């Protein structure tokens, strides 16, 4: 499915947060959004997913959704958002209420196998590592057979090693499911590893400073296979300029 954001601007009361964002996510494309803290990344994701109505501009969805899709635009959050009293299978089943029991169980089993969690189906979230908890978050998202995944810093709560492992799993998943993905992150190495294009937002009110195409097929980017350092450096310079400028504005105000 194709997602198109046109001339999106947003203000919370008199706080201008986003300004004139034009952005499309193509069918099967992975687009990362990076930018200084507070520039409106999460706001933009909520607008893209229809959770928040923008002050101006429009969001358009076009194209086919996968067979059996229950929710075309599906979120994955940083804090996993699991119910602590529900088992792994129970947490995945939460989003499948509209299905009959047999179909629901089959979907749960598929999603748990895809995320290597089948053996843990009866465990509670507190019995799992952080990485496994986020896998439950992913399983729950996959179970609805989404067309577009909207991910807000999905790896930020995890330690560096777990993050590396899940990054590889995400890369495989995005390819195997032909998902379109909008992926917000602070971590530039995630953006250059996973995305086809990286959108750099300016400081608040966020507008598009630059869109950087990575130019190497996603599955050829496993750690060490290609050096993405130069692209990461370029992204960092763009963001650093924005952070420095924002700091100057703060100093000037005082
Ligand atoms: N519901 C809200 N009501 C009022 N202001 C908000 C609301 N949500 C966010 N903001 C403000 O809007 C600005 C942008 O917030 P947003 O969460 O979109 O930024 P972000 O780029 O995701 O930041 P971070 O990188 O820290 O996650 C911030 O100044 C924030 O304080
Ligand atoms: Mg955010």
> Which domain CATH number covers 170?
3.40.50.300
Question: What pLDDT does residue 223 have?
Answer: 65
Quote the ligand 1 centre to 43 CA distance (angstroms). Answer: 6
Q: Does residue 184 lie within any of the structural domains?
A: yes
3-state secondary structure of 10: strand
Residues 41 and 90 in one domain: no
Measured from the Cα of 37, ligand 1's closest atom is: 25
How close is the Cα of 118 to the center of ligand 2, in Å? 31
Residue 39 alpha carbon, nearest atom of ligand 1 = 21
Same domain, 179 and 197: yes
Determine the atom of ligand 1 nearest the C-alpha atom of 36.
25
Residue whose CA lies nearest to ligand 1 atom number 4? 12
Let me know whether 155 and 207 are in one domain.
Answer: yes
- Return the closest-CA partner of residue 96 out of 147, 140, 65: 140
**13 burial level (CB within 10 Å; 0-12, 13-18, 19+):** exposed
The reported pTM is 0.94
Q: Taking CB atoms and a 6 Å cutoff, what residues make up the pocket around ligand 1?
A: 12, 15, 17, 37-43, 204
Token pair in block for residue 212: 């950087």
Same domain, 159 and 218: yes
Q: Within a domain: residue 209? A: yes
Same domain, 87 and 213: no
Query: How many domains in the chain?
Result: 2
CB 31 within 8 A of CB 154: no
The reply to whether 209 and 116 lie within a common domain is: no
Residues 121 and 53 in one domain: no
The ligand 1 atom nearest the CA atom of 46: 18
CA of 165 to the centre of ligand 2 (A): 23
Task: List average pLDDT for each run of 10 residues in the chain, which is 254 residues long.
Answer: 96 97 96 95 97 97 91 89 95 94 96 94 95 93 94 92 90 87 94 96 95 90 78 93 84 76
158 with 110, same domain: the answer is no
Task: Indicate whether 90 and 208 sit together in one domain.
Answer: no
Question: Is residue 133 located within the same domain as residue 153?
Answer: no
Nearest CA to ligand 1 atom 9: 43
Residue 240 forms part of a structural domain? no
In a domain, 169, yes or no: yes
Q: In terms of C-beta distances under 8 Å and separation of at least 24 residues, what long-range contacts does 45-49 make, across chains too?
A: 45/75, 45/150, 45/152, 45/182, 45/184, 47/5, 47/8, 47/10, 47/18, 48/3, 48/5, 48/73, 48/150, 48/182, 49/73, 49/75, 49/150
**137 domain residue, yes or no:** yes
Q: Are residues 210 and 155 in the same domain?
A: yes
Q: Same domain, yes or no, for 59 and 105?
A: no
Range of 95's domain? 82-145
């Amino acid at each position: 499915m194709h997602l198109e954001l046109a001339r999106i601007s947003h203000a919370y009361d008199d706080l201008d947060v986003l300004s004139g964002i034009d952005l499309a996510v193509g069918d099967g494309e992975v687009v990362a959004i990076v930018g200084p803290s507070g520039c409106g990344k999460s706001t933009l994701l909520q607008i893209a997913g229809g959770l928040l109505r923008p002050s101006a501009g429009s969001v358009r969805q076009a194209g086919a959704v996968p067979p059996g899709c229950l929710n075309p635009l599906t979120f994955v959050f940083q804090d996993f958002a699991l119910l602590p009293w529900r088992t792994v299978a129970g947490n995945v089943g939460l989003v499948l209420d509209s299905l009959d029991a047999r179909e629901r169980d089959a979907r749960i089993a598929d999603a748990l196998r895809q995320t290597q969690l089948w053996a843990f189906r009866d465990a509670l979230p507190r019995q799992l590592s952080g990485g496994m908890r986020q896998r439950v978050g992913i399983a729950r998202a996959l179970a609805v057979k989404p067309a577009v995944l909207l991910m807000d810093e999905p790896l930020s709560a995890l330690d560096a090693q777990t993050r590396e492992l899940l990054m590889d799993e995400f890369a495989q998943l995005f390819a195997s499911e032909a998902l379109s993905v909008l992926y917000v992150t602070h971590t530039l190495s995630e953006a250059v590893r996973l995305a086809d294009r990286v959108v750099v937002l300016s400081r608040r009110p966020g507008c598009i400073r630059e869109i950087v195409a990575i130019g190497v097929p996603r599955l050829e980017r496993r750690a060490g296979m290609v050096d993405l350092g130069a692209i990461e450096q370029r992204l960092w310079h763009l963001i650093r300029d924005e952070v420095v400028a924002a700091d100057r504005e703060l100093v000037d105000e005082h």
